């Protein structure tokens, strides 16, 4: 046999061995126990969408978003529109002082060397001076000194946090949970985030389409004459509801989704940029208005210092994203992945 024939045999042998190697790697099928069938990548089984601690499941649904009563202010910025909302989770209460303190403490321990202590204290630490700045000739010194730091207020909603800081908190909370899950070899959970304006309104109504308040229509007292939220019932009257300022979380009845203080106590930041004409601009499935150039962000729900109009589920309001107020807090949401079995609700 000449050299040409030997070279040909050697080449065929190498190709044969290479083919066997590739089949063993599963590249030509048959080597991964799949019988040569398209079965997907192994090792991705076992995902279960569990309810995050402190959150409530909000089922997907369709509702009429917008004003549920007379447009008293004649603003014409919230006409009714039928929209659909995907399933998600929402914190059952507003983020409390003690929960936010955990965030600040972790940031000081883990991120002060990279972000800088000054950044943490000026950008994400609650602005306790809001109790003095927001109200003229008001004795806010005790609240400024004690509200965030004293254990008496641990379970009260955190205030003095702007929209940007609420976003940083949400990102930290996501990383904190998923770092723990990764250590257990579990799949990551979706990100914590601020709810969209539409999600907030849908959750606030608790499944009661066109409800004026989270508890239904049309009164702010129950049959026994008790107030159903923490707000300003009348001129110069802050205490008929049992709290002069904010109230402890879970002080009033939850709505039908199990969410507390969706009206009153503190107004809440939403993801959306504020635009008075956004209602016809957004899509009718999970509508959210994004505009990075818009400094105004939506707040919803009214607060302890607001009249009942701002407690209505359809009332829109805004604040500048870098502003801190003694009456604005927040809660987080999380997208539900996949189709719900219904057992979470």
Average pLDDT for runs of 10 along the chain of length 345: 56 54 49 82 84 95 91 84 96 98 96 92 97 94 96 98 98 97 94 98 96 92 93 94 96 96 98 94 95 97 96 96 98 90 63
What is the value of pTM for the model shown? 0.88
Report CA-CA distances (Å) from 37 to 34, 91, 158, 188.
6, 44, 55, 29
Residue corresponding to tokens 């659909």: 84
Contact call for residues 87 and 53 (beta carbons, < 8 A): no
Give me the helices (H) in the chain, please: 3-24, 97-110, 112-115, 117-119, 130-133, 141-146, 163-183, 197-205
Determine the pLDDT at residue 344: 65
Q: Give the residues across from 329 on adjacent strands.
A: 268
Please give the Cα distance from 288 to 73 (Å, whole number).
24
Q: Residue 73 is encoded by which pair of tokens?
A: 């202010």
What residue ranges do the domains of the chain occupy? 55-335
Classify domain 55-335 at the CATH topology level.
3.90.1580
């Amino acid at each position: 046999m000449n050299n040409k024939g030997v070279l040909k045999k050697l080449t065929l042998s190498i190709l044969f061995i290479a083919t066997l190697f590739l089949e063993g790697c599963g590249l030509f099928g048959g080597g991964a126990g799949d019988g040569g069938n398209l079965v997907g990548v192994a090792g991705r089984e076992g995902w279960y969408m569990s309810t995050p601690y402190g959150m409530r499941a909000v089922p997907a649904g369709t509702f009429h978003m917008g004003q549920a009563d007379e447009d008293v202010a004649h603003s014409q910025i919230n006409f009714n529109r039928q929209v659909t909302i995907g399933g998600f989770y929402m914190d059952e209460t507003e983020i409390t002082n003690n929960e936010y303190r955990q965030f600040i403490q972790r940031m000081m321990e883990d991120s002060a060397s990279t972000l800088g202590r000054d950044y943490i204290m000026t950008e994400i630490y609650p602005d306790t001076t809001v109790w003095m700045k927001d109200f003229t000739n008001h004795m806010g010194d005790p609240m400024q000194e004690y509200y965030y730091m004293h254990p008496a207020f641990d379970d009260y909603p955190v205030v003095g946090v702007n929209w940007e800081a609420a976003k940083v908190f949400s990102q930290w909370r996501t990383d904190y949970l998923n770092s723990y899950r990764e250590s257990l070899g579990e799949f990551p959970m979706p990100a914590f985030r601020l709810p969209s304006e539409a999600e907030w309104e849908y959750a606030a109504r608790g499944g009661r389409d066109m409800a004026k308040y989270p508890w239904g229509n049309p009164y702010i007292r129950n049959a026994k004459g008790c107030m159903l939220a923490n707000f300003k019932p009348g001129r110069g009257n802050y205490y008929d509801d049992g709290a002069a300022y904010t109230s402890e979380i879970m002080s009033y009845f939850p709505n039908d989704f199990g969410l507390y203080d969706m009206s009153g106590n503190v107004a809440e930041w939403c993801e959306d940029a504020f635009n008075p004409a956004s209602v016809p601009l957004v899509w009718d499935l999970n509508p959210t208005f994004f505009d990075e150039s818009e400094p105004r962000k939506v707040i919803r729900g009214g607060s302890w210092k607001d009249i009942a109009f701002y407690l209505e589920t359809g009332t829109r309001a805004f604040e500048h994203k870098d502003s801190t107020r003694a009456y604005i807090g927040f809660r987080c949401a999380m997208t539900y992945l996949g189709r719900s079995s219904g057992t979470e609700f």
